[in-house]
Each structure stands twice: as C-alpha cells, then as structure tokens.
Amino acid sequence: MPDLPKDLIAASSFPMILAVLAKGESYGYEIIKAIKEQSNGQLEFAEGTLYPILKKMEAHQWIASKWYKAENGRERKYYKLTSLGKKQLQTEKENWQSVNQILQNLWQLNFNYQ
C-alpha cells in the first residue's frame, strides 16, 4: 500500500494525537507507538514531527505536561488533555466529520453515476 500523502497526515495529526491522549495521559514515544498500532503500521510519526506538535498543543493549552520518573529511573514527559483540550478534540472531530460528510456525499454521487 502506498504511503499516505503528507498533507493528509498533517491534517489528521492534531485530531489523532488528541484522540490518543483522550484515552489517557501518555508520553511521546508511547503516543508514536499507539498511533502506529492503531493504524496497523500505516502511520508512523517521527519524533521530530511529534514533539513540535505537542509543543504547539501545550502552547494552546490543550494539553499539559509533567515529568515523571519511570521504573528504570528514566525521565518521561507525560501529557494529558486539559478541559480546553477536550473541547478542541471535539472541534477537531466536528471539523473532520464535516469534511468527511461532504466527501462521502460526493463519492456517493460518483457511485450512483457509475
């Protein structure tokens, strides 16, 4: 299967990451893994892609971070959704659903014309 186009990955990155964090707080590396698993390997965010997004979300106050120490002593930066972030997740979802509905309707028309 061909790689997904960059613009589509970019457009879905925010809703996707917010959705992962809605399941529970998580840290960068684990978020990457969760998305890879959820997409059966179709999507794999590089760290250099993910951390700027997390930084931006934090700047928007959609998420908040906190350092924790893992069992092996490693430091991990955990992110969790804020109430603002939950609202934004809802907004991202509605936006996506809107565009998706428009596309599905158009494709339905295409199908009917075939």
Residues found near a copy of itself in the complex (CB under 8 A) = 2, 4-5, 7-12, 15-16, 19-20, 22-24, 35, 38-39, 42-43, 89, 91, 93, 95-96, 98-100, 102-103, 105-107, 109-110, 113
In Å, what is the CA distance from 81 to each residue of 46, 95, 106, 109?
A: 21, 19, 35, 39
Residue 114 CB, nearest approach to DNA (Å): 26
- Looking at the Cβ atoms of 52 and 97, the one nearer to DNA is 52
Can you list the positions of beta strands (E) in 56-101? 63-69, 75-81
Site for DNA contains 41 (CB under 7 A): no
Closest to 48 measured CA to CA, from 97, 83, 13: 13
